[in-house]
Amino acid sequence: MLRRTLLVLMTAAWTAFAAPIDAKAADPLYAGAEGPYEVVQVPSVPLQTGDRTVEVRVVYPQADGPFPVIVLSHGTFSSKDMYERVATFWSAAGYVVLLPNHIDANFGVQPTGEDVMREIIMTRVADLSLMIDRLDEIESAVPELAGRMDRTRLVAAGHSIGTVVAMYATGLEMRNPVNGEVESHTEDRFDALVMISDPGKMALQPDDLWVGSDVPTFLGTGTEDYGRMGKGNRPTTYTMERLSGGGDVPRYFLNIEKGDHAFGGAIHRVQS
C-alpha cells in the first residue's frame, strides 16, 4: 500500500506543474521515490485573523527556489500535523507546502448539522485565501523562505472534506436544492487542484463533484475511500447540485484497488 501511495503522491505533485524545476532534475522528481531535496519543517507559524489565530505548518525544500506553493486543507477533526508524509514527499520533489489548522482541527468546532457543516467549509476556504494573502508574513516568520516561494504557481490541495474546500478555492459553484441558494467563493488565484480522496464520496456532495473546478485537476482515491464525513456515515436530507465544471482542462483520475481513506496510514498520522 505504501508503494502505491507514493505513486499517488508523485502523480499528484506532477499534475500540479509538470516541470516545477529545471529539466536536469526531472527524472528523480517523478520516479515514484523520494525527491532529491532535503526538507525543512517549521511546526507552527501563527497568523491572526479576526478573533482567530490560524496555526500554519510550513514545509519547504532546502534549496534555491523559487518553488510552486501547495496549500493543503486537512480532513475533518484532523490537523496540520497529520500529513507529514504527504508534505515532506511533495517538498522533497520541489514544492513549498503550507498546512493551516482549520476551526474544526483537533476536534474543535463540531459539524452538528448540515448548515454548520457548510459554514465550516466556507471558513476553511477563507483559510486557504488567507495563506495567499499572508505569504509576506509567513516569509517574515521564516526568513529562509525568501526567494523560495513562486507566487505565480499556486496549488489548492485537500484530503477528505478538505477536497471540497480546495474545490471551492478553484471555482466550484453549487446550488443548495433546499433554498435555491448558489454557493461559491471569490478566490481565483490557485492554478491547479490536487485531491487525495474523492469529494463525491462526502456527505451532501454529488458523485461527479471532482470535475467541478476548471483548473488542471488530479484526484487520487481508492475503492475503500470512505471517511468520517462520507456518505453512509453521516445521514443527510439532500444532495448539492454542481453548477460549475466541464471546461476543457487536464483532469487525472487514479483509483487504487482497496485503497482506503488514509492511504494505508500515509496520512492522518504523525510520522514516527
With a pLDDT cut of 70, the percent of the chain lying above it is 77
Residue 70: helix, strand or coil by DSSP? Answer: strand
Residue 259 pLDDT greater than 60, yes or no: yes
Mean pLDDT of 31-52: 87
Return the pLDDT at 3. Answer: 47
Average pLDDT, the chain: 82
For the chain, state the CA radius of gyration. Answer: 17
Return the C-alpha cell found at 62: 532546502
Residue 38 vs residue 23, higher pLDDT: 38
Cα separation, 272 vs 77, in Å, equals: 20
Identify each DSSP E strand in the chain by its residue range. 39-49, 52-61, 67-73, 96-100, 149-158, 174-175, 182-183, 192-195, 217-224, 241-242, 251-260
CA dihedral 263, 184, 182, 80 (to 10 degrees): 40
Q: Which of 15-24, 118-127, 252-261 has the lowest mean pLDDT?
A: 15-24
Alpha-carbon distance 71 to 157, whole Å?
6
pLDDT over 70 at 272, yes or no: no
pTM here is 0.85
